[in-house]
Structure 1
Amino acid sequence: MASFNVAAFLFFLGLLFGASFAQLTEDFYDQTCPRLPNIVRREVKRAIESDIRAGAKLIRLHFHDCFVQGCDGSVLLVDAPGIESELNGLGNLGIQGLEIVAAIKAAVERECPGVVSCADILAQASKDSVDVQGGPSWRVLYGRRDSRTANKTGADELPSPFETLEPLKKKFEALGLNSTDLVALSGAHTFGRSRCRFFNGRFSNFSGSGQPDPTLDPTYRQELERACTNEDTRVNFDPTTPDTFDKNYYTNLQANRGLLTSDQSLFSEAGADTVDTVNLLASREGTFLRFFRRSMIKMGNIRPLTGNQGEIRTNCSRLNDLGAQPGHDVM
């Protein structure tokens, strides 16, 4: 009887947690699209060669996909009948890279038509974006399917560059990600750019204080003010090695040179458990890469659609029954 109860309990847990996770496997496409990793990596390298920001664009799309109703490709859907695009959500305003995903998807479709989901392409492209630019590699798990719905309201609630630590932690915790994951995944800001509108409020009258943000290094603030000729100017997240995936994001935080409020809050909020994690990841390159890899795999397994759920989109921006009708691209 005891063994039966244990078995029943494990089955119940499987229904709650394991049904989707267990179906994601490394060998999902071994028979149907064996060259998938090579195709995606080739296209990601090509994109980065023509646009050094391509990798950061792709990984941001993957993050924003997984944080709204799970890793299901919903972030890629444009406005259409019955679809209010997540791209219109406050957290996605200005997000870029749809044309890169479209090029990768087209290359995959030429070899393996109707087989590989856009959600899986985002997961693979994010990994390649990182290791092509000096970061860690990992084995991507596959088997995600693409959502037939979008959630613009969810995109309105994405983690914000203006948020302090506690709201950020709550948003991560709601998805099963802890404060260590928050610090590790924020390390993606070791490459890429941000528009000045997302941090120029730190220059003066910060939070109505009449003064600059005290957690922003004064010399760095002056450099940023000179660089921000208008609010849409883009500035490197990492002023030291802006296009290399390394631990300098964390050493920048230690020097009060985190670009966004959400970045610097990981280190500058007194007594926060994230401070020790920042110090740990700043101490050794290998430590950061190991933690980042682990948290990326964990994030990539947030509520995927599997089995017969959703669909395998032919056009990542459109549901299959809407075909290739033109939608808006976000540039």
Structure 2
Amino acid sequence: MAATLLSLLTLTIFSSILHSSKALSVNYYQQTCPKAESTITNVVKKGMMNDRTVPAALLRMHFHDCFIRGCDASVLLNSKGSNKAEKDGPPNISLHAFYVIDNAKKEVEKMCPGVVSCADILALAARDAVVLSGGPRWDVPKGRKDGRISRANDTLQLPFPTFNISQLQQSFSQRGLSIEDLVALSGGHTLGFSHCSSFQNRIHNFNNATDVDPSMNPSLAARLRQLCPMHNKVKNAGANLDSSPTVFDNAYYKALLQGKSIFSSDQALLTTSRTKALVSKFAASQEEFYEAFVKSMIKMSSISGGGTEIRRNCGAVN
């Protein structure tokens, strides 16, 4: 039943996208590179066997790509000469698993040279990351082109984990994304891990009255303070984003309602009646979350980029 609903939903969303972006099509490579998707899936599977953090990394990478200049694979470009690229911008320093995209590109290039864009490979790999972690599957509209511009300073436009609800809404609306998209896409935090620096503001010197954010579950706050002391010197110290960090489920929303979210931006979703109602809906029904997530991912991954080429190497312009 859920699969049928998701298939119908995908068709509906895809139809609406066609009106706004005629270049994208779920069948884009059907004639030119029919085995591209299965090849990319196999590379993602292989990456996951070696590193269980790969799915969270690929999903975050795709998000960070689409929020800067649209979905044009600008996040994959390497810094060169005096130009510092997006991947070296402050919010992207912790991005990893670029090698998975590079490996997928190499395999696809062997079959179909110069046909499949790095932006499409990243969009497909992000979808595979969700599916292979137990989440929903959807047909990814394809036909993106790769961009030639990547600047580290642009990454300061990404939504930060310290954002309040009005800052989050503004960031998403600037990219044509709704409040429902904001809450649904935040569910991507069901996968992964965060370094201490991203939630330090909630567990030390929260305000003049208290050291710890009073909205955070006290036992979680105590554990995080132990993991991340004020002058933390452990390079990779941090915490998982929910209780099942390698499984794509609705545990994130359940934890959020219990005061067990990690970021200020997560907690912010409980500060308006509309966003809180969506959190409650997704916590109560994993199927409703999956449907909303699929809809929002197709919408986000179709944000038009200024790409003009199919890169031969995802880390460098042609």
Please, what TM-score do these two structures have when normalized by structure 2?
Answer: 0.89
The answer on whether the counterparts of 1:145 and 1:312 sit within 8 Å (CA) in structure 2 is: yes
TM-fit CA distance, 1:20: 6.5
CA distance 1:177–1:318, shift in 2 (3 Å): same
The answer on whether the counterparts of 1:25 and 1:142 sit within 8 Å (CA) in structure 2 is: yes
Q: Tell me how many residue pairs correspond in the alignment.
A: 298
Partner SS state of residue 94, structure 1: coil
Note if 1:237 corresponds to 2:241: yes
* Range that drifts further, 17-26 or 243-252: 17-26
Partner SS state of residue 127, structure 2: helix
The amino acid across from 1:251 in the alignment is K
Note if 1:316 corresponds to 2:308: no
1:165-204 alignment to 2 at 5 Å?
A: 165-204=165-204
TM-fit CA distance, 1:18: 6.7
Partner SS state of residue 108, structure 1: helix
**Could you tell me how far apart the structure 1 residues matched to 2:211 and 2:227 are?**
20
TM-fit CA distance, 1:280: 0.7
**Could you tell me how far apart the structure 2 residues matched to 1:97 and 1:266 are?**
29
**Could you tell me how far apart the structure 2 residues matched to 1:96 and 1:293 are?**
24
Kindly provide the CA deviation profile for residues 229-248 of structure 1, in whole angstroms up to 9, marking residues without a partner as x. Answer: 6363132101x212110001
Note if 1:125 corresponds to 2:128: no
Note if 1:149 corresponds to 2:153: no
The answer on whether the counterparts of 2:66 and 2:303 sit within 8 Å (CA) in structure 1 is: yes
Kindly provide the CA deviation profile for residues 57-111 of structure 1, in whole angstroms up to 9, marking residues without a partner as x. Answer: 1111100000001000011111124743012323212221211211111111121
Partner SS state of residue 256, structure 2: helix
1:247-326 alignment to 2 at 5 Å?
A: 247-267=250-270, 269=271, 271-305=272-306, 310-320=308-318
**Could you tell me how far apart the structure 2 residues matched to 1:105 and 1:234 are?**
32
* Structure 2 stretches lacking a partner, 5+ long: 1-16
Partner SS state of residue 273, structure 1: helix
The amino acid across from 2:309 in the alignment is E
1:74-223 alignment to 2 at 5 Å?
A: 74-81=74-81, 83-223=83-223
Q: Match of 2:6?
A: none
Kindly provide the CA deviation profile for residues 259-299 of structure 1, in whole angstroms up to 9, marking residues without a partner as x. Answer: 111111112x2x34210110011111101000000000000
Paired-residue identity, %: 38
**Could you tell me how far apart the structure 2 residues matched to 1:220 and 1:155 are?**
30
The answer on whether the counterparts of 1:83 and 1:149 sit within 8 Å (CA) in structure 2 is: no
**Could you tell me how far apart the structure 2 residues matched to 1:215 and 1:108 are?**
48
**Could you tell me how far apart the structure 2 residues matched to 1:63 and 1:294 are?**
14
The amino acid across from 1:138 in the alignment is W
**Could you tell me how far apart the structure 2 residues matched to 1:291 and 1:107 are?**
32
The amino acid across from 1:282 in the alignment is A
**Could you tell me how far apart the structure 2 residues matched to 1:257 and 1:63 are?**
23
The amino acid across from 2:24 in the alignment is L
Kindly provide the CA deviation profile for residues 150-193 of structure 1, in whole angstroms up to 9, marking residues without a partner as x. Answer: 23332112000111111011000000001110000010010111
Partner SS state of residue 298, structure 1: helix
The answer on whether the counterparts of 2:147 and 2:305 sit within 8 Å (CA) in structure 1 is: no
Partner SS state of residue 244, structure 1: coil
TM-fit CA distance, 1:223: 1.8
**Could you tell me how far apart the structure 2 residues matched to 1:317 and 1:281 are?**
37
The answer on whether the counterparts of 1:175 and 1:302 sit within 8 Å (CA) in structure 2 is: yes
**Could you tell me how far apart the structure 1 residues matched to 2:116 and 2:220 are?**
45
**Could you tell me how far apart the structure 2 residues matched to 1:110 and 1:207 are?**
56
CA distance 1:165–1:53, shift in 2 (3 Å): same
**Could you tell me how far apart the structure 1 residues matched to 2:273 and 2:163 are?**
15
* Range that drifts further, 40-49 or 203-212: 203-212
* Structure 1 stretches lacking a partner, 5+ long: 1-16, 321-331
Q: Match of 1:5?
A: none
TM-fit CA distance, 1:209: 3.8
The amino acid across from 2:269 in the alignment is L
Q: Match of 1:51?
A: 51
TM-fit CA distance, 1:226: 2.6
**Could you tell me how far apart the structure 2 residues matched to 1:285 and 1:236 are?**
20
The amino acid across from 1:189 in the alignment is H
